[in-house]
Chain A
Amino acid sequence: MPEESSYSYEEKTHAAFGGAPIDTGNPRVLAWLIRRHGLEMTHLSRGSHIGAIFSLAEIMATLYTGVLNVNPADPAMPERDRLILSKGHAGAAVYAALAERGFFPVEELKTHYANGSRLSGHVSHKGVPGVEFSTGSLGHGLPAAAGMALGAKKDHASWRVYCVLGDGECDEGAVWEAALQARQFALDNLIVVVDFNRMQSLDFCENTLSLEPFADKWRSFGWRAIEADGHDVDALRAAFDEAKGNLGGGQPTVVIAKTVKGKGVSFMENNILWHYRTPQGEEYEAALKELEAQRP
C-alpha cells in the first residue's frame, strides 16, 4: 500500500502543513487535525465510527482550546475541569485532541485498536493521561459526570464537569434518570454537550425513536438548553461561554450542537454506512484529498 511509507505517523498526519508550525490552540486547526487523525486511525486499525469522530471534531476542538481548564503537564491537577465522553465509540476524537494538545505523543495514535495498545476503540482512562472515565456502553457517562459534579458542589470547588453525549444515546433511560438528578441536585457546574447529528446506528433518530422536541425535553427537565451550530467553533465557544455563566443558577446546561455525521468528507456525510465502514483504498485516498483541501 503506497500510503504506508517510511514517514512516521506524526510526519504523515502533519504533512499537509508542509513543515510550518502547527497552532493546535486554534480550534479550526485542532478540528482539522482531529479529522485527519480520525481518518488515519480508522484506516490503520480498520476500525469503525469515523462518522461519529468527524461529527465531534469542532466540539472536541473547541473544548480543548480554552474552554476546558486542563493542563497536559499536570493531567491530574485537582482543580482541572472533567470531561467524560459518554459516546465512547468516538474515542479517537478525544485521543487525537489530547495527543495534539500535549497529553501524550502524537505518534502513539497509530496504536489505536492495536494489540497491546492502551488506546482501545471505546475510550479508556487506564493509563491514558487526560481521560477521566472509560465508556463504551451508552448511557453511562452522564450519571458519572453528575456524580463528579455533585462532589465538586459538596467541596465548594470551582471546576466544572463536561459530558458529551450522542443524540441516539439519549434513547437510554439512564440519561434521563441522571438529567432528573442533576437538576434536583442543582448541578449548575455540569455542562452536557449533545452531538446532535440526527443519526444513530441503523437509521435517522426520527425514524428510530424520535427525540424531538429535543431542546424542550431538556428544558422540561429543568435544564437550560442552548442550541448551536456544532461545526462553527465561534458559535460553540459562545455557547460554552454562556453555559459557564450559569454558576449559582442551580440549573445544569445542555449545549445541543447541530452536527452532520461524517462531516468533512462528502461521501461520508449523512451516510449511515460510515458509522461502520473503515476507510481503505480509493475511499481513503478520496477522503484524504477532501480533508487536505480543507486544511486551515
Chain B
Amino acid sequence: MRDAFVRALMREAARDPRLTLITGDLGFGVLKPFWETYPDQFVNAGIAEQSMTGLAAGLSRTGRTVLTYSIGNFPTLRCIEQIRNDCAYHEANVKIVCVGGGLVYGSLGMSHHATEDMAILRALPGVTVFTPGDPLEVEAVVPEMLRTPGTCYLRLSRGGEPVLHDAPIENWRVPQALTLRRGADVALLSAGGILTQTMSAADMLAEKGISAEVVSFPCIKPIDAERILDLAGRFRHLVAVEEHNTVGGFGSAVAEVLAENGCGCRLHRIGMPDRYSSIVGTQQYLRGVYEMDDCAICRRTLEWLDP
C-alpha cells in the first residue's frame, strides 16, 4: 500500500510543483524515489511531529498542498492538538499520512499499534478520513484526497498487500463505498487494510454455503450512508470489520447511520475489543488473537447468522 501511495503521489507531484511532502524522519526505503526525484518538494522535519504538523499548516498557507508522513501514532496522536487547532480549524490544506494503521507493527509493541486513530481523527470537524483497503484503492484515493479541500487523514496499512480489486478503480469520489463481491446471506463491511481478511473470510463462508457480500469503505468520514442503508435493506446481518478499536471507529460510524435511520438489521463489530495489546506477535498473529483474522471473521459471522 505504501508503495502504491508513493507511486500515486509522485504522479501528482509531477503535475503540481507546489505539492510538498514532509516526513517526520521516517520512510527509509519508501520515500527515497520521491526525495530523489522531487528534492525541492521534500522536507525532513526531523523527529518532531508537533512542529512538523504546525510547519505543514504554515506552509500550506503559502498556497501549497502539504503532506505529513510518519508511522503509527506519530503523525496523528502525538500531535493531535496541532492537527485540531493549526490544521482543521484553519481548514489547512494538509494531508496527514500514516503508514502502519492497525497492528502492522505488531511485534514492535503497543506504542506502535495505531488502533484509535480513526476514531480520534473522525471526531475532528472538517477532517476527511480515508481508509483504503488495497493498493488499487490507494491509487484511487490519493488523487481524490489531494483534490479534497482542507485537512485530510490517509490511513495506510503497510507494504506488500495483495491487489483485491479486479481492475483499477476509475473516477472514485468521496465517500463512495466499493463492492468487491455480491452476496445474498450477509454483508461484510470493511475499512482499511483488514480487507484482505474480510475477502478471505468471504471465501471461507462460501465454502460453508454462506454467500457474503463484501463492501470496502475507502472513506469513513464522510461515510457512504446511502450504501449502508442499501445493505441494511437487503441483509438482516451486517458485519463491520476494522483493525482498530471497536469504540469510535468504522463500526461506530456504521452504527450511527443505522441507528439514525431506524434500520432493523443487526450490526456486529469486529475489531480490537477496547483494549491495548501487550502480547508480542506479528500483525497476522495478533489479528488471530483478537479475533479479526479471516478464520475469526468467518467463525464469528457463522455464529451470528445461526445463534
Using CB atoms and an 8 Å cutoff, list the residues of chain A in contact with chain B.
Answer: 125, 132-137, 139-140, 142-152, 154-155, 173-174, 177-178, 180-181, 184-185
Contact = CB atoms under 8 A, between A and B. Distances in A.
A148 B90 CA distance: 14
Contact of B57 (A144, A154, A155): A144
Most A CB within 10 A of own CB, among B20, B59, B81: B59
B23 interface: no
Contacts of B59: 147-148, 150-151
B58 A174 contact: no
Given A125-B90, A136-B85, A137-B85, A146 B58 contact: yes
Given A139-B50, A177-B48, A181-B51, A151 B58 contact: yes
Contacts of A151: 58-59, 61-64
B56 to A, nearest CB: 6
Nearest to A153: B62
A182 to B, nearest CB: 9
Contact of A150 (B46, B48, B53, B58): B58
A144 B62 contact: no
Q: Is the interface of A mostly helix, strand, loop or mixed?
A: helix
A177 B45 CA distance: 9
Given A134-B85, A148-B59, 9 more contacts: A133-B90, A142-B51, A143-B51, A154-B40, A174-B54, A174-B82, A178-B54, A181-B45, A185-B43
Nearest to B62: A151
Contacts of A145: 58
Contacts of B43: 150, 185
Contacts of A150: 43, 55, 58-59
B86 interface: yes
A180 B57 contact: no
A187 to B, nearest CB: 10
Contacts, number: 96
A81 B213 CA distance: 57
Given A177-B48, A181-B46, A140 B58 contact: no
A132 B57 CA distance: 12
16 contacts: A133-B58, A140-B82, A140-B85, A140-B86, A143-B55, A143-B57, A143-B58, A143-B82, A144-B58, A147-B55, A147-B57, A147-B61, A147-B62, A154-B20, A181-B46, A181-B48
A142 B55 CA distance: 8
A155 B62 contact: yes
A90 B61 CA distance: 23
B66 to A, nearest CB: 8
Given A125-B90, A144-B58, A177 B85 contact: no
A173 B47 CA distance: 12
A146 B55 contact: yes
